[in-house]
Structure formats: C-alpha cells, structure tokens
Amino acid sequence: FYAMWIPDLFMKRVEQNADWTLMCPNECPGLPDTWGEEFEKLYEKYESEGKGRKTMKAQDLWFHILESQIETGTPYILFKDAANRKSNQQNLGTIKSSNLCTEIMEYTSPDEVAVCNLGSIALPKFVSKGKFDHDKLFEVTYQLTRNLNKVIDQNYYPIPEARRSNMRHRPIGIGVQGLADAFILMRYPFDSVEAKVLNREVFETIYYASMSASKDLAKEEGPYETFAGSPISKGQFQFDLWGVKPSDRWEWDVLREEVMEHGVRNSLLLAPMPTASTAQILGNNECFEPYTSNIYT
C-alpha cells in the first residue's frame, strides 16, 4: 500500500495553482525532519537554489493523486503538519509516518521503532432499551486502558528498538466497532443529528475514561518517560489542540488539574482502527463505518 505524507505548503500551492518542485531527500536534507514554518523555509530555499528534480503544476499532481485514489483506493493521504501540530508526541521530534491503516501516528527514530497497542470496544453492548449507557462505557474503557498497559509491560518484543519505544512512550490505541449497529439499535439514521451527537458523546466518554485511567496509573507507577514537555503535561487535551469545547457530561477541569499534577501513563490513548477482522467475531459492522450493504456473504 502506498501513502502520501503531504505538507500544508503543497495544498497552498494547489489552491494558488502554483508550481510544485519534486526533490530528492538525499540531495535536499532536512525536509523529512521538519514541518510547519521550518519546513516551508527550507523547501523554498532549496527551490530557489534550483535543487529540485522536476517542477510541475501542483494542481496537475493533485488531480493525478485523486484519479489514482478513485481508481485504486490508494495512495492513503495524511497531512504532515496537522499530524505533528495535533500530536501529544510533538515534543519528541518530527513525526514522519503513520501505521498501515493510518489510525495512529507515532514518533520514530533510528533507535526507536514505534509500536501500536490496540484494543476495540463493541458499542452495541452499551445500548439497552433505546438508551446508551455512558457510565458502563466509562467502566469498560477504564479497564481496557489498564489492560493495554499490562500488554505493554508483558509483551514479547522481536527487536530492542520496538521495546525501547514502547516502554518510553507507552502509546495505546483504543477504538470502536459497531458504531453503525449502535445507531440502528437506537433507531438513529446514520446521518441524523441524533447520530452525530451520540458519536461525539461516545468518543468523549472513551477519551475521558482512558485519560482518567492513565492518570491513575501514573499515580501508582509514575508518568511515561517522555511526559515532560508534551501538550498533555501543559494541561492540553486533544480537543484543546483542535479548539473544540467538550460537553458538560464529564469534569474536564478537575481531570486537567490532576493530570498536570500526577501526569499520565500513556503518550497516546485513542486510535479508531478499521476492525475489519475483529468486528466479525461479535458480528458488528466495521469500526465507525456505515453499512455498505444490507446483506454480507
């Protein structure tokens, strides 16, 4: 599977119908290791020095990418600057890639191979008599967070670089399966206002529960090694990085104070994965996707 790690500068050039210069990272060092304004200055410096291999219209390249996506489903697309700007691992260095399914983006280096510690929650199990049980979802997410930390501690690591990364940053990725099934049980059309509200409430509960458990683990065992300097160490939750205000269901300000005092055990918490195979075990639809057919064979 091919994927593209696209800087904001490229999309600016697309909007302006300006030129885009293709460069070799060996001939133009530093581009993979920078993002944002630093990347743009370095890129434009190499461009002005004539170090590019080829120049073409950014829109032409963009339309080739879109045509390939329509015909083949690839390349996967991620946006480099957003990935770094919104990551709790931004204090470690430039994030350069995601995993295959693009649900989690982690820092890597020559002596660290990022590891993805995943677990999914079956959302239909929390619907009873047309009501969604957020308190039960909190309990299950809390325990899943603790269990995934045990996975990190007790897992087998084929190479020392993977163990080093996992032990230092302790990322976990909690996702869901059967969101569409939960909507059906609630009698909500997938694109309804009610479904959108429930979707937001579900992930808000999962994030709050996971953060609470990670904070409690930090009280017991200490924060993860690279906690200092991270956005969460400054009291910035993921929704703060996006400029989004949560609902009043949970006590975020209290949790924020406790996190800043005690730290958290994990650098990353949520990563909604595809669940293409695991959802079949419980007969759920994949992750947060809508049904694509009334009958599956």
The residues assigned a catalytic role are: 99, 101, 103
CA–CA dist 49, 43 (Å, integer): 10
Query: 6 by DSSP, 3-state: which?
Result: strand
Q: Are the C-beta atoms of residues 266 and 149 closer than 8 Å to each other?
A: yes
Contact 147, 157 (CB under 8 A): no
Q: Are 106 and 122 in contact (CB under 8 A)?
A: no
Alpha carbons 181 and 152: distance in angstroms, whole number: 31
Q: How many CB atoms lie within 10 A of CB 226?
A: 17
Q: What is the CB neighbour count within 10 angstroms for residue 277?
A: 8
The residue among 153, 145, 170, 160 whose CA lies nearest residue 223 is 170
- Give the contacts of 42 (CB within 8 A, at least 6 positions apart): 28, 30, 31, 34
Structure tokens at 204: 């808000």
Helix, strand or coil for residue 210? helix
Instruction: Give the Cα separation of 141 and 212 in Å (integer).
Output: 10
The pair of structure tokens assigned to 185 is 């049980």
Report d(CA 243, CA 86) in Å as an integer. 11
DSSP state of 105: B
Q: Is the dihedral of CA 147, 149, 155, 157 positive or negative?
A: positive
**Contact assessment for residue 238 and residue 207, using Cβ atoms and an 8 Å cutoff:** yes
